[in-house]
């Protein structure tokens, strides 16, 4: 088994009938980078930036963030690295944020909602990202989006930061690929409109399942009900993929479901362009992709 997996190392992720998919890895921390590099992933599809905020007892400085992003981009040697802007909320506690306690933190002030409420905090992260962008192939991704307005506001802040860096003579990539997570039913349902605003989508199936089924993903006693294979979730994924392609942008999956080998064929039939999975799932997934023949 192990030998079979080693056999697909360095090979393309392509079905027998020639359909390609990118297999990327997720990372939650710079400490994951050696594992990601060793996994033979073709890029990083989700680099969660929360560690910066959760490991500190004060806001991470621009410099601290810059160093971490630079490390990820450098380690991947020009392969695409999708870094997600902070997804802090009342559940991922960082005391110095001074967030009010909430009864429903999953539905509370979190992620992009905090960023748009506290633009100075957000701009520090965007500045660090832009400065790191010259060290590889960076893509920036915004989490928990529900509307076109949010995307436009986030992109306007990014443009502001890029213009400011230019004025200061600090190097930054001319263009930075910008995308959003599709992890709320609202985003999936208006993905036709959202696709006009961004370069890519990445489906966060963990939260998409939580919000679609109205089941708290952290309540283990509800595990029997938490069904990411629910037809409602699969329909939202398919709808998102269709709307992405209609607008000519790429669409990936970065939630746990991306590594579910029983769905790989269905995802490829939907035309999913990229699957971002844990480092240990990269080779098994590539092996699965290479065994499929969608025309048969
Ligand atoms: C998701 O929601 O599916 C996702 C990938 O993000 P996180 O698990 O960090 O919420
Ligand atoms: Mg999520």
CA–centroid distance, residue 208 to ligand 2 (Å): 8
Q: Please give the pLDDT value at position 2.
A: 84
Confirm whether 172 is a catalytic residue: no
Write the residue with the smallest CA distance to atom 4 of ligand 1.
204
pLDDT digits (tens, 9 = 90+) for 173-232: 999 999 999 999 999 999 999 999 999 999 999 999 999 999 999 999 999 999 999 999
Site to probe by mutation for ligand 1, drawn from 254, 258, 277, 278 as the one with most ligand atoms within 8 Å of Cβ, is 254
Residue 202 CA, closest ligand 1 atom number: 5
pLDDT band at 263 (very low <50, low <70, confident <90, very high): very high
Q: CB burial class (10 A; 0-12, 13-18, 19+) of residue 14?
A: middle
192 labelled ligand-binding: no
| Spatial separation of the C-alpha atoms in residues 208 and 228, rounded to whole Å | 9
Ligand nearest to the CA of 26: 1
Predicted TM-score of the model (pTM)? 0.98
- Between the CA of residue 192 and those of 59, 221, 234, 260, 267, what are the distances in Å? 36, 36, 17, 26, 19
ipTM above 0.85, yes or no: yes
Indicate whether 92 pLDDT > 90.
no
pLDDT band at 287 (very low <50, low <70, confident <90, very high): very high
pLDDT band at 296 (very low <50, low <70, confident <90, very high): confident
The average confidence (pLDDT) of the chain is: 97
pLDDT band at 90 (very low <50, low <70, confident <90, very high): low
183 labelled ligand-binding: yes
pLDDT digits (tens, 9 = 90+) for 110-135: 999 999 999 999 999 999 999 999 99
Q: What residues contact 36, with CB distance under 8 A and at least 6 apart?
A: 25, 27, 44, 75, 76, 279
CA–centroid distance, residue 182 to ligand 1 (Å): 10
Q: Please give the pLDDT value at position 93.
A: 79
Q: Report the SS3 class of residue 183.
A: coil
84 labelled ligand-binding: yes
Ligand nearest to the CA of 277: 1
Active-site entry in 115, 130, 172, 254: 254
Residue with tokens 């992720």: 13
pLDDT digits (tens, 9 = 90+) for 25-44: 999 999 999 999 999 999 99
4 labelled ligand-binding: no
Q: Please give the pLDDT value at position 59.
A: 96
Residues with CB under 6 A from ligand 1: 46, 48, 87, 183, 204-207, 254-255
Write the residue with the smallest CA distance to atom 3 of ligand 1.
204
| Spatial separation of the C-alpha atoms in residues 257 and 249, rounded to whole Å | 21
């Amino acid at each position: 088994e192990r030998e079979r997996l080693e056999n697909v190392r360095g090979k393309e992720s392509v079905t027998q009938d020639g359909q390609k998919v990118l297999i990327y890895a997720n990372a939650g921390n710079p400490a994951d980078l050696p594992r990601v590099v060793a996994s033979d992933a073709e890029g990083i599809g989700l680099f969660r930036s929360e560690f910066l905020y959760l490991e500190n007892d004060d806001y991470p400085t621009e410099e601290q963030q810059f160093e971490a992003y630079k490390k990820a981009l450098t380690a991947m040697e020009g392969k695409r690295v999708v870094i997600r802007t902070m997804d802090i909320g009342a559940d991922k506690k960082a005391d110095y944020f001074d967030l009010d306690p909430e009864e429903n933190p999953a539905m509370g002030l979190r992620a992009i909602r905090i960023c748009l409420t506290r633009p100075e905090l957000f701009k520090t992260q965007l500045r660090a990202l832009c400065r790191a962008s010259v060290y590889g192939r960076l893509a920036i991704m915004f989490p928990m989006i529900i509307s076109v307005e949010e995307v436009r506001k986030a992109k306007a802040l990014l443009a502001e930061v890029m213009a400011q860096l230019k004025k200061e003579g600090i190097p930054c990539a001319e263009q930075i690929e910008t995308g959003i997570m599709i992890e709320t039913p609202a985003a999936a349902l208006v993905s036709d409109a959202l696709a006009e605003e961004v370069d890519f989508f990445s489906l966060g199936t963990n939260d998409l399942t939580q919000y679609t089924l109205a089941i708290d993903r952290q309540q283990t006693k509800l595990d029997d009900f938490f069904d990411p294979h629910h037809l409602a979730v699969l329909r939202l994924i398919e709808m998102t993929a269709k709307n992405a392609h209609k607008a000519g942008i790429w669409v990936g999956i970065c939630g746990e479901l991306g590594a579910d080998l029983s769905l790989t064929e269905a995802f490829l039939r939907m035309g999913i362009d990229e699957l971002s999975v844990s480092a240990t799932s990269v080779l098994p997934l590539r092996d699965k992709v290479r065994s499929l023949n969608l025309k048969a």
